[in-house]
Amino acid sequence: MSFVTAIDIFQSYGNRPIIERVNLSVEQGEFISIVGASGCGKSTFLRLLLAQERPTHGSISIDGAAAAVEPGLDRGVVFQKYSVFPHMTVRENIVAGESMRTTWGRFFGAELKAARTRADETLARIGLDHVADQYPATLSGGMQQRLAIGQALAAKPSVLLLDEPFGALDPGTRLSMHDFLQDLRAETGMTVFMVTHDLDEAFKLGDRVLVFDKPRWDPHDPSAYGATITYDFDARDGGIPFQRLKESINVRTTP
Amino acid sequence: MRLINLVPSRPLALFLVLLPFIAVIIAYAIGSDIRLTANPQDKLLPAPSTIGETMVKLTTEGDRRTGDILFWQDTWASLQRLALGIGISGSLGLLFGLVIGLLPMARSLLAQFVAVLSMIPPLALLPILFIVFGLGELSKVVLIVIGTLPFIIRDMSQRTLEIPDELLVKAQTLGASSWVIALRVALPQVMPRLIQAVRLSLGPAWLFLIAAEAIASDSGLGYRIFLVRRYLAMDVILTYVIWITILAFIMDWLLRRASKRLFPWAEGGL
């Protein structure tokens, strides 16, 4: 039984199909990179995974649960920007990862103290303990994204969704963010979906690389057909195939 | 050098700030002098010294009949009405703005209704208010509320809608309920904008206050101005006008300071 299952997903806006016939099954702990040209539905697919949108057809289930109708605790997310709360300090942002689910959205008394201690541990681990009392606006882009990831993980989601998380960062920061993400992953064994434009990044971080593309193309009406997963690469072992006994490299052919 | 790159030095900047004020005072003094030399009994442009004396007299001497200093009584009465009106508008505006901005159901229900309501000229409703609420304090406060509330509601709902979707989705993935999202995400983010909206509403609020006081009242800054108009007491009117201007400016300044102090994270945006 796979951890994340997408069965026969179609999504269209009005009568414009965006993605069609997407089937996917992902094991727990896998890191899935999603690449594709702009407008090929990879962000749409991530929003479907997030349950921010509901598919026009088909269903996505995580850990055997029924298809979600709205975003919830089991899905963590980091966007390219606006991923942390600008009106909370860095420490409060991490605490919010745990406290948002309570009735008042905040902790009081001893609970607050304990949450702050945990937040400080998290901040030390993600290297932000020296800016704990600052507001996110004063941090660099890389630090903000690290904070966003730390905040998402504080809620202990079962799946982490990243929508071009490092798209706005400079190459150097991006490399250190890769290390950071790989460390975190080794630590938590989290199932991750990451949408990216950067193929190197996709193969470096992912266990699998999914390519979204339009298998059918009408030159007179480019938006007539939606995109689907056209390639599903095994990206382990540095993307070099045939290093293991059983391997699933497949080029999906759509009927 | 291009004009757009010409930046004044600090002393020059200060001089430029003061220049229009000084120019107005000098222009008034000259105008007043010309009229007074032609006719020492002229009441239209009293000499600055006369205004100064009137100011001292108004703020220190009590009324002949009651002994109360009317100037401070008027100020107190007006400020009370203004604070009450703006306070009610601000709180209701924030509440409705958040509800309309966050809940699509409420948006469908109320947004267009408020848009239509905001088109009613509040002063046209003043007779109705006097008929329904009588000539007392209530009708004046209600006029200020009616005059400023639709604007604040529309501004607040717009600001709430402008909160990036990413933040609302993020809060949901952290398990926040609609209530917690309103309380912990939307409310703090629109608070600086509320102060902004209240600052912008202060001008109309003064307008409605003075209009209501001018028509039916027995105290208040607007009442006094329109009362002494009968005697052509320009020195009193000018004193009151200057005082109202100073009060309005101080309020605006205090609100700006409060916004900076309370919401340091919003610094760049405002």
Domains of chain B: 72-263 (1.10.3720.10)
Q: Where are the alpha helices (DSSP H) in B70-103?
A: 70-102
- Residue A228: φ, ψ to 5°: -150, 180
The CATH fold assigned to A4-86+158-251 is: Rossmann fold (3.40.50)
Every domain of chain A and the residues it spans: 4-86+158-251
Q: For residue B179, which residues of chain A lie inside 8 Å, CB to CB?
A: 103, 105
Q: Residue A191: which of A3, A28, A19, A36 has the closest Cα? A: A28
A103 touches chain B (CB under 8 A): yes
| Contacts with B, A 135-154, CB within 8 Å | 135-137, 151-152
For this complex, say whether ipTM is above 0.95: no
Identify the pLDDT of residue B63: 78
Task: Quickly list DSSP for A140-158.
Answer: -HHHHHHHHHHHHHHT--S
pLDDT tens digits, residue range A127-178? 888 998 999 988 888 889 889 998 998 888 889 999 988 888 888 888 888 9
Q: For residue A152, which residues of chain B lie inside 8 Å, CB to CB?
A: 170, 173-174
A72 touches chain B (CB under 8 A): yes
Distance CA B103, CA B178 (A): 9
**With an 8 Å Cβ cutoff, are A105 and B164 in contact?**
no
Q: Residues 6 or more apart from A132 whose CB is under 8 A from it? A: A89, A90, A91, A119, A120, A123
**With an 8 Å Cβ cutoff, are B174 and A87 in contact?**
no
Residue B259 reports pLDDT greater than 70: yes
Residue A251 reports pLDDT greater than 80: no
Identify the pLDDT of residue A245: 66
Distance CA B50, CA B99 (A): 54
Distance CA B189, CA A195 (A): 29
Identify the pLDDT of residue A252: 59
Q: Hey, which residues does A57 pair with through a beta bridge?
A: A10
Range among A210-214, B20-24, B37-41, B231-235 rated most confident = B20-24
A105 touches chain B (CB under 8 A): yes
Q: Which residue has the tokens 């609420």?
A: B133
Closest partner residue to B167 (CB to CB) among A50, A82, A102 is A82
3-state class (DSSP) for residue A87: coil
Q: Residue B76: which of B135, B123, B137 has the closest Cα? A: B137
Task: Quickly list DSSP for B8-64.
Answer: --HHHHHHHHHHHHHHHHHHHHHHHHHHHHH-TT--SS--HHHHHHHHHHHHHSPPT
**With an 8 Å Cβ cutoff, are B173 and A101 in contact?**
no
Residue B3 reports pLDDT greater than 60: yes
- Residue A25: φ, ψ to 5°: -135, 135
pLDDT tens digits, residue range A97-113? 999 998 888 889 898 99
pLDDT tens digits, residue range B113-125? 999 998 999 888 8
For chain B, the residues whose C-beta falls within 8 A of a C-beta of chain A are: 164, 166-167, 169-177, 179-180, 183-185, 188-189, 263-268
Distance CA A255, CA A215 (A): 10
